[in-house]
Amino acid sequence: MTQLRLDKISVSSYHESFLNYSDSTTIITVSGSIPPGSTVFSAPITFLRSSTICDIFYSHSSIPGKRVFNTGVPLQRTDFLQPGRIIPNIRYTTDGAMIIVEVFNPGSSYTIPTQTYTIYLVQYSAPISL
Amino acid sequence: MNFDSIAYFSGIEIDKIVDVKAGTFVNVSDTILRQPDPIFFSGLNVFSIPHGFSRPVFTDALIRTPDLGGTPWLSPGNNTLNFITYSTSTHVCIAMVSNLNINIQYRVICSWITDYDTTNPLVPEFHPVDKSILFDSRVNYQKIASSGIVTGGNNFNPPHSINNPTNKLSNFKVFLEAFAGEVWVMNAGGQQNPFAIDFSQMEGEAVITSQSLEISTSNGLPSQRSWYKIYYDG
């Protein structure tokens, strides 16, 4: 069996890598009157799991940059709505994932400024059998 | 050259998948409860698998259970059957939030951490059982534009800023040394973090802009490190 010192090698033909498989974008718009309690905004993303793993990122319309959903837990964002909070999350389904943006409002009804979440799904093939 | 539009370029590093661990275990009877601070944290049920290398590896993983109506394969950090993975110098570990006594099927993809230390050990080739071609220069892999180690930081606030050479919102991954010698998938949130088990645990968040990757960390020790990868693709 071949053995390699991988630290100084850019590409190894003796090992697999993450092969780009598919990517897509979904928009969730959060707007309107938010009653006390929590309000859920959601959008499905349909994809086939077939031998793939995925990362799902999101960005917010008024905050620069892109954050990752499922390899970090940046879910407790308190800076979008004070004193409430907005928590984006993922619930995987049999044919994809449901992206959930949940707005928590501890006070009286509140009209939230319109804001959008852009969801980026990135799938790569990996040497797995599911 | 527009690297994200080309399939392959030998001068650009790609990830090296060095193993895939596949199998089943029973949560909670096959796991060990890791709960260093039982007063403030509920702990994680950890299943450990020897990886056979001399130092930690990066982990990507999927799990599912046939016991809850046939859940789909799930990534870490999900809201259905939450889990995270990490690696020590000897094992890859699946840490479950759930205390349900259920069967778990897993796939843990182990990829190489370039320059983890100065040992540069020999690594065996890896052949998945159902693949005859490991590498194909015609196809489009996730190509690494920038990667490295962030050292000397357990409290990067303001964040540690790393140049983003792609000038766009590229895909990225960040891993961190939550405990000394343990390479965890990035996670954060303090007591709101389902993967927090102790106040000494280093946590981290990251956001990428077209100019930089910003990594924020907290807790832990100054000797604990983070690793990042920015891809051309995204």
Contact A12 B194 (CB under 8 A): no
* Residue numbers in A near B77 (CB within 8 A): 69-73, 90
The pLDDT value recorded for residue A73 is 44
| Selected residue of B65, B208, B213, B217 to mutate for chain A interface (largest A Cβ count, 10 A) | B208
Contact A10 B22 (CB under 8 A): no
* Residue numbers in B near A6 (CB within 8 A): 16, 18, 112, 114, 120, 123
Query: CB of A89 within 8 Å of any CB in chain B?
Result: yes
The pLDDT value recorded for residue A76 is 43
B4: alpha, beta or left, given left = phi > 0 and alpha = psi -120 to 50? alpha
B142: its two tokens: 């996730």
b/e per residue B71-97 (b: at least 16 CB within 10 A): bbbbbbbbbbbbbbbbbbeebbbbbbb
Cα–Cα distance measured from residue B234 to residue B231, given in angstroms and rounded to the nearest whole number = 7
| Selected residue of A6, A95, A100, A129 to mutate for chain B interface (largest B Cβ count, 10 A) | A6
Contact B114 A7 (CB under 8 A): yes
Q: How far is A33 from chain B (nearest CA, A)?
A: 26
Sign of CA dihedral B132, B134, B139, B140: positive
Q: What percent of chain B has pLDDT over 90?
A: 67
Is residue B64 very low, low, confident or very high in pLDDT (cuts 50, 70, 90)?
very high
| Selected residue of A5, A59, A66 to mutate for chain B interface (largest B Cβ count, 10 A) | A66
Q: Which of B121, B193, B214 sits opposite A73 (nearest CB)?
A: B193
- Residue A45: how many CB atoms within 10 A of its CB? 20
Average pLDDT over residues B121-141: 85
Burial grade of B50 (CB within 10 A; 0-12, 13-18, 19 or more): exposed
B33: its two tokens: 């409860």
CB B116 within 8 A of CB B56: yes
Contact B114 A6 (CB under 8 A): yes
* Residue numbers in B near A11 (CB within 8 A): 10, 13-14, 135
Contact A4 B123 (CB under 8 A): yes
Question: What is the full per-residue pLDDT of chain A (130 aa) written as tens digits?
Answer: 899 999 989 999 899 999 888 888 999 998 888 888 888 898 888 888 777 888 888 888 888 889 887 544 444 444 445 556 677 777 788 788 888 888 878 888 888 888 888 988 898 888 887 7
CB B206 within 8 A of CB B156: no
CB B3 within 8 A of CB B232: yes
Residue bearing tokens 């990066």: B58
Peptide bond into B158 cis (omega under 30): yes
* Residue numbers in A near B164 (CB within 8 A): none
Contact A92 B73 (CB under 8 A): yes
Cα–Cα distance measured from residue B78 to residue A69, given in angstroms and rounded to the nearest whole number = 8
Question: Could you say which DSSP state residue B159 is in?
Answer: P
Cα–Cα distance measured from residue B140 to residue B129, given in angstroms and rounded to the nearest whole number = 22
The pLDDT value recorded for residue A74 is 42
Q: Which of B120, B139, B185 sits opposite A5 (nearest CB)?
A: B120
Q: How far is A11 from chain B (nearest CA, A)?
A: 6
Tell me the pLDDT tens digit for each residue of B69-99.
Answer: 878 888 887 778 889 999 999 999 999 999 9
